[in-house]
Amino acid sequence: MPRINTIRMTPTIVETDLQRIQSVLKKQREFFSTGHTLELAFRKERLQELQRAIGQHEQELMDAMYTDFHKPEMEAYSTEVGFVELELKLVLKNLRKWSEPKRVKESLINFPSRSYVHSDPYGVALIIGPWNYPFQLLLNPLIGAMAAGNCAIVKPSELTPTTSAVVAKMIRQHFDDSYIATVEGGVQTTQHLLQQRFDYIFFTGSTQVGKIVMKAAAEHLTPVTLELGGKSPAIVAEDADLGLAARRIAWGKFLNAGQTCIAPDYLLVQESVKEELLQLISQYISDFYSEDPRQSPDFARIVNDRHFNRLSSFLRDGMVRTGGITDAASRYIAPTLLDKVTWQHPIMQEEIFGPILPVLTFQQLDEAINQVRGREKPLALYFFSNDDRKKAQVLKYTSFGGGCINDTVSHIINPHLPFGGVGQSGMGSYHGQSSFELFSQQKSVLHRGTWLDLPLRYPPYGNRLPMLRKLFKWL
């Protein structure tokens, strides 16, 4: 199908326009103070407007992602546009229920009383999106912020300029910037944004930049969610269904040309089944993308030259078993299996974020678990086995943000599962109700009855302490 190159829009805010950023932030604070966003009807109406906006710009968004890094239309819809549309449907269906004050169990000490938890918006949120899923990972948090009643400034990635321009145009056409605004620009623009005081910051990107964001947020004691990355393992035990494991690992790894934060970063396979598994993965690469993936319409490209050069340098590590072909002009790197790799190789020192899968082995499962536990906690972990005891062992002794048993990546699809990292792979979880709760301050309120007021708590206390001790023990 022929592709249409999307026209790049003029940036909404240029990199050096600090005054413009401050002006938009001031307008959003003033609008939030009016109380309009507190009304459930307003929130639903605005979310429905976002739903309409996405529908109107759907093809333009998918064309933009193809322009930026050759993202296949199937992937652009299923992992970006359609993904966000499903999130919107879920939020609109459940928003009234989520927004209602939740009554909690009462303490007899406060009798007579009733206690509730109210979900209040923070105020003005800053959402900084990444380049690898430039629509989904920007819009999904925005949906949570809007549902909770916040205003928001969103900063799309400058590394996918065509998609960023379409997103900026879409938001500008459908929302007043006193409510939702888009700020385009590079590093300097992000620095300007982080100098301001926001009420909440949501960042998706690298661990290195996440530390910078958290440091800036600390200057204003701003709560922050960090969705980062890490080296997510796919562990395959010898009792696994190897054909199924190979197919699902190949899909999860080479989706979006490996530029997925929860893609299997490396393979840990039991030595006894290594050769069979690698042959099967190689076969599925051919089945998915043909003998020459460069000609496949279903395989994306690396986002820019810097990332291409970084990834290409990793091919000097170990021994290429499948793939290894590159083309700098089109930023193409073939789906690659890299054998004979150790933890000392450069490829194992950082998150790969590309279509290269290094292979390591283990003899006993304890050894694999110890290899994972000896490194920073990953964003995701995938374990393939048909042994329930082994599954329980891996889940008990490894710490990771989220993952799958006998699959890869698919845990992100269920909006009822909170998605987020732990340690160096991030903090805070979102999706579905978790997004609403993330962007809501939980306000605790006690309603005390007036018809009874026991004198026990009031001075002078006299000799009430023994009675109070008995009461506390009884409770």
Q: Which residues contact 254 (CB under 8 A, 6 or more apart)?
A: 285, 288, 289, 299, 335, 355
Q: Do 410 and 303 share a structural domain? A: yes
We report the CATH number of the domain holding residue 191 as 3.40.605.10
Q: Do 262 and 221 share a structural domain? A: no
pLDDT at 17: 78
Q: Tell me whether residue 462 is in a domain.
A: no
Nearest one of 141, 143, 123 to 34, comparing CA atoms: 123
Q: Tell me whether residue 279 is in a domain.
A: yes
Q: Do 259 and 200 share a structural domain? A: no
Q: Tell me the mean pLDDT in the region 15-34.
A: 89
Q: Do 123 and 219 share a structural domain? A: yes
Domain count, the chain: 2
Q: Tell me the mean pLDDT in the region 415-436.
A: 96
Mean residue pLDDT of the chain comes to 94
We report the CATH number of the domain holding residue 243 as 3.40.309.10
pLDDT at 109: 83
Domain enclosing residue 33, as ranges: 18-228+428-442
Read off φ and ψ for residue 474, nearest 5 degrees: -65, -35
On the question of pLDDT at 434 being above 80, the answer is yes
Q: Do 164 and 63 share a structural domain? A: yes
Q: Tell me whether residue 402 is in a domain.
A: yes
Q: Tell me whether residue 42 is in a domain.
A: yes
> Rounded CA gap, 22 and 26, in Å?
6
Q: Could you identify the residue written with the tokens 């002078």?
A: 460
Q: Do 363 and 287 share a structural domain? A: yes
Q: Do 178 and 141 share a structural domain? A: yes
Give the pLDDT band of residue 475 (cuts 50, 70, 90).
confident
Q: Which residues contact 459 (CB under 8 A, 6 or more apart)?
A: none
- The residues that are catalytic are 227, 261
On the question of pLDDT at 1 being above 80, the answer is no
Q: Do 374 and 243 share a structural domain? A: yes
On the question of pLDDT at 26 being above 70, the answer is yes
Range among 1-5, 140-144, 467-471 rated most confident:
140-144
Query: CB–CB of 201/367 below 8 Å?
Result: no
pLDDT at 71: 96
51-66 pLDDT tens trace = 999 999 999 999 999 9
Strands of the sheet with 224-227, listed across from one edge: 180-182, 151-155, 124-128, 200-204, 224-227, 426-427
CA dihedral 347, 255, 424, 365 (to 10 degrees): -70
Q: Which residues contact 370 (CB under 8 A, 6 or more apart)?
A: none
Nearest one of 374, 376, 405 to 388, comparing CA atoms: 405
Q: Tell me the mean pLDDT in the region 399-418.
A: 97
pLDDT at 4: 36
Report CA 130 to chain centroid distance, whole Å: 10
Q: Could you give the C-alpha distances from 175 to 31, 144, 169, 178, 268, in angstroms and in order? A: 13, 16, 10, 8, 48
Q: Tell me whether residue 1 is in a domain.
A: no
Give the pLDDT band of residue 10 (cuts 50, 70, 90).
very low
* Length of the chain measured in residues: 475
Q: Which residues contact 264 (CB under 8 A, 6 or more apart)?
A: 232, 233, 234, 249, 252, 253, 357, 380, 382, 408
CA dihedral 273, 325, 4, 254 (to 10 degrees): 20
315-372 pLDDT tens trace = 999 999 999 999 999 999 999 999 999 999 999 999 999 999 999 999 999 999 999 9
The DSSP H or E segment spanning 226 is strand 224-227
Q: Tell me the mean pLDDT in the region 382-391.
A: 98
Q: Tell me whether residue 163 is in a domain.
A: yes
Read off the tokens for 455: 């004198």
Q: Do 123 and 31 share a structural domain? A: yes
Residue 15 burial (10 A CB sphere; 0-12, 13-18, 19+)? middle
The DSSP H or E segment spanning 45 is helix 40-69
Give the pLDDT band of residue 22 (cuts 50, 70, 90).
very high
Q: Do 239 and 199 share a structural domain? A: no
For residues 175-206, one letter each, b for 16 or more C-beta atoms within 10 angstroms of the residue's C-beta and e for the rest, the string is: bebbbbbbbbbeeebbebbbebebbbbbbbbb
pLDDT at 12: 46
245-276 pLDDT tens trace = 999 999 999 999 999 999 999 999 999 999 99
> Rounded CA gap, 347 and 342, in Å?
9
Q: Do 126 and 275 share a structural domain? A: no
Q: Tell me the mean pLDDT in the region 33-37.
A: 97
Higher model confidence: residue 221 or residue 455?
A: 221
Give the pLDDT band of residue 94 (cuts 50, 70, 90).
very high
Q: Tell me whether residue 466 is in a domain.
A: no
On the question of pLDDT at 3 being above 60, the answer is no
Q: Is the pTM of this model over 0.95?
A: no
Q: Do 345 and 261 share a structural domain? A: yes
Residue 218 burial (10 A CB sphere; 0-12, 13-18, 19+)? exposed
Q: Tell me whether residue 166 is in a domain.
A: yes
pLDDT at 41: 97
Helix pair 242-254, 274-289: axis angle to 10 deg: 50
Query: Within 10 A of 447 (CB to CB), how many other CB atoms are there?
Result: 12
Read off φ and ψ for residue 179, nearest 5 degrees: -115, -60
Helix pair 187-194, 18-33: axis angle to 10 deg: 40
The CA angle 279-282-286, to the nearest 5 degrees, is: 135
